[in-house]
Amino acid sequence: MAKLAKRITAARAQVEDKGQVTVEEAIALVKKAASAKFDETVELAINLGVDPRHADQMVRGSVNLPNGTGKTVRVAVFARGAKADEAKAAGADIVGAEDLMETIQGGKIEFDRCIATPDLMPLVGRLGKILGPRNLMPNPKIGTVTMDVGEAVRAAKGGQVTFKVEKAGIIHAGVGKVSFDEAKIAENVRAFIDAIQKARPTGAKGTYVKRIALSSTMGPGVSIDPARING
């Protein structure tokens, strides 16, 4: 524990008193402070001026990060017949219908993204209490309820990130790995923030993007100036 505390203290010391910085400066600080023995995820947290308890202030969607996430995404697809074959050909890890529903009901959830064809949503709907809290419920608004299951699987495997604002008005997402080049992380960060800006709901009033912080899995957060996203 003493070694861990010492490492955390040293990491925090590297980012303290920096104030709000540019995207590139934040990435450099995050990479410098990352000291875990594994390839840490670079995580973005955005505090929005919305109250998601109101339907017209909900923020959700998806974005394809130009340089991927660096994470292996396991995809499950609810489909039958030709669409099931299409999903398998595109690289889906699990494909099924009633059998997949029973597996999930049994507590076995071995996937990070769930996709479904529209005709199977009545079946998937029975799993709402299981998939909903895990943010795994297929939704047409983020492209996970679709007849084009092949493209949906490829997008999920290729670096697509889905997002949904939490009760406190915060959105979290992994936007790469510490091992990525700084320029690639910067591209991903800007692509994600741009998607959030475009997803601004009609009910959002005043300042929409309040605060932005970048960190690594085990590292301290660095504040990014929302007014200096592009430099």
What is the tally of structural domains in the chain? 2
Residue 48 lies in a domain: yes
What would the pLDDT profile of 173-218 be if each residue is shown by its tens digit? 999 999 999 999 999 999 999 999 999 999 999 999 999 999 999 9
CA gap 142, 153 in Å, rounded: 13
* 200/184 same-domain check: yes
Domain end among 157, 181, 216: 157
Last residue of a domain, one of 105, 129, 157: 157
Could you tell me the CATH number of the domain that includes residue 172?
3.30.190.20
Whether residue 105 contacts residue 171, with contact meaning beta carbons closer than 8 Å, is answered with: no
What's residue 3's pLDDT? 55
Tokens of 138: 């297929």
Decide if 10 is inside a domain: no
Whether 146 and 98 map to the same domain: the answer is: yes
- Is 186 inside any structural domain? yes
Q: Read off the pLDDT band of 9 (50, 70, 90).
A: low
Instruction: Work out the pLDDT band at 4, boundaries 50, 70, 90.
Output: very low
What is the domain-level CATH number for residue 96? 3.40.50.790
pLDDT, tens digit, 9 for 90 and up, residues 136-169: 999 998 999 999 999 999 999 998 999 999 999 9
Residue range of the domain that includes 152: 75-157
Ranges of beta strands (E only) in the chain are 41-48, 60-64, 75-78, 94-96, 113-116, 160-164, 170-177, 209-216, 222-224
Over residues 115-131, mean pLDDT: 97
